Chain A
């Protein structure tokens, strides 16, 4: 069974930065695209970013474009999300996921990011 474990969340002030990590195991990480999805408190799911298996293709939601950067380290089975210029509206649980296109997303357990002064 796919295992994805997020880390790096916490409380950060508006305008600050945070780097989320996702440790992947129990599958061949380098063969899969990965994605980040977030969920604000009491709200629905919002797709954030996508990165292809070899990092050649990256996509971002308009709401984070220019502020967030997705990356991966296939040698260490790790996915990252660098979040800069954070705003209150970025407060959410962030999930990393293995993105298999029409076969769907396999999810981590999520990590809370709170942007507040």
Chain B
């Protein structure tokens, strides 16, 4: 089973800040990495697939990078609607596994 480790587990930031979340896989997964955003009481929303491909309708302030074992989600200028929990997920093999989540909170 591939373990996915996100850091930090939470981050406090202000509107306009640059926020970076990292996700590390316990073994190489090429670019089989997906990022989701989840707001309280809502289903997760697909943000980035294939490690770096922004989904249609997702603001360009979101970006993803990495391959192999180390991946990054960056929000270039945090907006009020971005306060949420973010999860990475590997789609390389079964069982599918998620990171533990990173909560982005208002500072």
Interface residues of A (CB under 8 A from B): 35, 44-47, 50, 59, 61-62, 95, 100-110
Return the 3 tightest CB-CB contacts between A and B, nearest first.
A47-B96, A104-B34, A107-B43
Q: How large is the interface on B (under 10, 10 to 19, 20 to 34, 35 or more residues)?
A: 20 to 34
**Docked complex Cα distance between A104 and B90 (Å):** 9
Give the residue among A59, A105, A110 with the most B Cβ atoms within 10 A: A105
Q: Is the CB of A44 within 8 A of B49?
A: no
B31: A residues at CB distance < 8 A: 102
**Which of A44, A102, A109 contacts B34, CB < 8 Å?**
A102
Q: Is the CB of A102 within 8 A of B89?
A: no
Q: Is the CB of A104 within 8 A of B101?
A: no
Question: What's the nearest-Cβ distance from chain B to residue A99, in Å?
Answer: 8
**Docked complex Cα distance between A61 and B34 (Å):** 19
Q: Enumerate B7-65 residues with CB–CB distance to A below 8 Å.
A: 31-34, 36, 38, 43-46, 49-50, 55
**Docked complex Cα distance between A54 and B33 (Å):** 25
Sample 26 A-B pairs with CB under 8 A, ordered by A number: A35-B96, A44-B100, A44-B101, A45-B44, A45-B98, A45-B101, A47-B96, A47-B97, A50-B94, A50-B96, A61-B95, A100-B49, A101-B32, A102-B31, A102-B33, A102-B49, A102-B50, A103-B49, A103-B50, A104-B89, A104-B91, A105-B44, A105-B89, A107-B43, A108-B43, A110-B43
Q: Is the CB of A107 within 8 A of B32?
A: no
Q: Enumerate B70-107 residues with CB–CB distance to A below 8 Å.
A: 87, 89, 91, 94-101
